[in-house]
Amino acid sequence: MDTHRETPDIVTSTDAYAHRFTGPVGTWLLDKQWDAVYRMLQTCPGRSVLEVGGGHAQLTGSLLDHDYDVTVMGSDPQCAHRIKPFIEPARCAFQVGDLLNLPYPDRSFDTVIALRLMAHLKNWPRFLNELTRVARHSVIVDYPSQVSVNRCERLLFGQKKAIEGNTRHYTCFTTKVIGDTCLPLGFAPDGRQRQFFWPMVVHRTLNMPKLSATLESACNTFGLTQALGSPVVLKLSRMSEPPALAGVIADHEDAA
């Protein structure tokens, strides 16, 4: 393997990582994630989807069940492990490639999706450049928000690792930072959904999806999720005319 390539999706493609999302509470967490992604997809033209780093198999089955034409790209052959049930009956394609040099021509797919990935990449600006390059219309990413409990990530890392076992440090973002990075590439934020007020590790620890749903519903009612929720699912759309200069995207909710 090229030691200069970034390969964080190898970890997220393992059974050990998938164990975080087992049981009723794991199903609830993934259902919330799919609801956010599908809401974005309904305003994305076309049916062809590239899942970059999608070996975690958190979206592939749902995308196929909704009649999307899906290609999953991973940084290593082992990233295909969890999506074999979709590859072997030829329901979706899988390809190995460099996450920072995607092996596709410009505008190859209607929508490009990358979840559980950007926060673990060092060269995330290059990654966004590649996602927008191969997307015909839309890009959907997720990220941990700077304006949330994630601000305490370094302080809480030890406790989180003790509970999850295989957690990693990650980079937090704001919509403004991502938007300012993508604007010169001809893409702009076009929809956003914050998923949870309480960190997901809290819900896994409680292991009571009905209680978690009640807690999150209350936070949503009082506007806490909209202000401080994380992770964030963000849709970026190609603009009709690329801007001459990089602009500043106002975002008072998370412009820290």
Q: State pLDDT tens for residues 126-176.
A: 999 999 999 999 999 999 998 876 665 555 555 555 555 556 678 999 999
Tokens of 200: 């997901």
DSSP state of 119: G
> Residue 117's pLDDT is what?
97
Distance CA 93, CA 82 (A): 13
Long-range contacts of 225-229 (CB under 8 A, 24+ apart): 225/194, 225/195, 225/196, 225/197, 226/194, 226/253, 227/147, 227/253, 228/145, 228/147, 228/148, 228/149, 228/194, 228/197, 229/145, 229/148, 229/194, 229/195, 229/196, 229/197
Q: Which helix (H) or strand (E) holds 236?
A: strand 230-238
- Mean pLDDT over 50-68 rounds to 98
pLDDT tens, residue by residue, 181-208: 999 999 999 999 999 999 998 998 899 9
- Mean pLDDT over 50-73 rounds to 98
Query: In the predicted model, is pLDDT for residue 256 greater than 50?
Result: no
Query: In the predicted model, is pLDDT for residue 245 greater than 70?
Result: no
- Mean pLDDT over 230-235 rounds to 96
Query: In the predicted model, is pLDDT for residue 43 greater than 60?
Result: yes
> Residue 252's pLDDT is what?
44
- Mean pLDDT over 224-237 rounds to 95
Report how far apart, in Å, the C-alpha atoms of 72 and of each of 32, 119, 249 are: 21, 19, 31
> Residue 201's pLDDT is what?
87
Residue in the structure block whose two tokens are 């978690």: 212
Tokens of 2: 């090229």
Under 8 Å CB-to-CB from 163, ≥6 apart: which residues? 201, 204, 205
Distance CA 239, CA 190 (A): 10
Residue 181 and residue 24 in contact, taking contact as beta carbons nearer than 8 Å: no
Query: In the predicted model, is pLDDT for residue 90 greater than 90?
Result: yes
| Residue 111 φ/ψ, nearest 5 degrees | -135, 140
Confidence at 25, pLDDT banded by 50, 70, 90: very high
Q: What angle do CA 233, 235, 241 make, to 5 degrees?
A: 160
Q: Which domains does the chain have, with CATH numbers?
A: 9-238 (3.40.50.150)
Other residues' Cβ atoms within 10 Å of the Cβ of residue 164: 17
> Residue 247's pLDDT is what?
43
Q: What's the mean per-residue pLDDT of the chain?
A: 89
- Mean pLDDT over 14-39 rounds to 96
Distance CA 167, CA 116 (A): 12
Q: What is the pTM of this model?
A: 0.89
Query: In the predicted model, is pLDDT for residue 251 greater than 60?
Result: no
